[in-house]
């Protein structure tokens, strides 16, 4: 059965799919009243449901029972990454970060950033679509864009890293340990020395992502996969 997203799932009351999910249900897959589907709430829960009303814009479903799924648990990995100047690269990146299973994404605004905003509505749709495609039942938490120098002073995790091209940085895979981790990735041109020092003073450790110079979005995905593999 196909998988659909519904934020507010209840056994007692009928659940209404939003316009996007309804379009996918009725106009792409051409399901109708009486069809059985899977729905998930983004918090790791999956349910079977039946379509009770196939209204054009907002289909109604009745949740039947939950379907336990222990094949995946959320990885306590938080990727904080400078917003790429190309919006398409941002969208591709958060799609792939969702497919890898990260639990949080923070868009960063750094000194060398050329873009300081994201299309939040579109970004959230991409996250949901990526969850459905990969059958990831945990929707990542997407934070509001944050000023890097202020954000590092409040970021929390068992392990905190800042990816940096400086020669003194240690390879990420050599210092990773199990547990929650936040990894910050800089913009085109990297973090400034001032930003790196602010991060160090806030408990971050500088790390390298290898000898090759990676694009922002490539670095974010590399860091996520490396950290997730350590936690598996």
Distance CA 115, CA 95 (A): 19
194: closest CA among 146, 144, 148, 145? Answer: 148
Name the pairing type of β-strands 15-16 and 60-66: antiparallel
> How many CB atoms sit inside 10 A of residue 224's CB?
27
- Residue 71 has a pLDDT of 67
Distance CA 21, CA 32 (A): 13
**76-102 confidence digits (pLDDT tens):** 999 999 999 999 999 999 999 999 999
pTM of the model: 0.93
Distance CA 51, CA 73 (A): 28
The CA distances from residue 141 to 46, 55, 79, 173, in Å, are 18, 30, 11, 25
Q: Average pLDDT, stretch 162-183?
A: 90
Q: φ and ψ at 196, to 5 degrees?
A: -60, -45
| Averaged confidence pLDDT in the chain | 94
**103-148 confidence digits (pLDDT tens):** 999 999 999 999 999 999 999 999 999 999 999 999 999 999 999 9
Structural domains for the chain: 3-66 (2.40.240.20), 77-231 (3.40.1280.10)
Tokens of 13: 């009351």
**200-222 confidence digits (pLDDT tens):** 999 999 999 988 889 999 999 99
Tokens of 159: 């392990």
Q: Average pLDDT, stretch 189-203?
A: 96
**5-29 confidence digits (pLDDT tens):** 999 899 999 999 999 999 999 999 9
CB of 76 within 8 A of CB of 181? yes
Q: Average pLDDT, stretch 189-198?
A: 96
DSSP string, 118-167: --HHHHHHHHHHHHHHHT--BPPEEPPPEEHHHHTTT---SEEEEE---T
């Amino acid at each position: 059965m196909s998988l659909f997203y519904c934020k507010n799932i209840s056994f007692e009351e009928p659940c209404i799919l939003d316009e996007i999910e309804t379009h996918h249900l009725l106009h792409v897959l051409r399901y109708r009243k009486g069809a059985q589907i899977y729905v998930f709430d983004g918090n790791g829960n999956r349910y079977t449901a039946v379509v009770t009303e196939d209204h054009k814009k907002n289909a109604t479903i009745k949740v039947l029972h939950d379907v336990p799924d222990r094949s995946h648990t959320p990885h306590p990995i938080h990727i904080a990454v400078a917003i790429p100047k190309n919006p398409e690269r941002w969208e591709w990146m958060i799609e792939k970060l969702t497919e890898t299973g990260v639990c949080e994404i923070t868009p960063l605004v750094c000194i060398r950033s050329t873009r300081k905003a994201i299309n939040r509505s579109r970004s959230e749709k991409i996250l949901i679509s990526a969850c459905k495609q990969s059958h990831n039942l945990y929707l990542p938490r997407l934070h509001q864009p944050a000023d890097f120098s202020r954000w590092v002073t409040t970021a929390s995790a068992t392990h905190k890293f800042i990816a940096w091209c400086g020669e003194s940085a240690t390879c990420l895979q050599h210092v990773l340990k199990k547990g929650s981790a936040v990894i910050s990735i800089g913009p085109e041109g990297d973090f400034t020395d001032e930003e790196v020092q602010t991060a160090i003073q806030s408990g971050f450790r500088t790390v390298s992502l290898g000898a090759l110079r990676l694009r922002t979005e490539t670095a974010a995905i590399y860091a996520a996969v490396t950290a997730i593999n350590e936690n598996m």
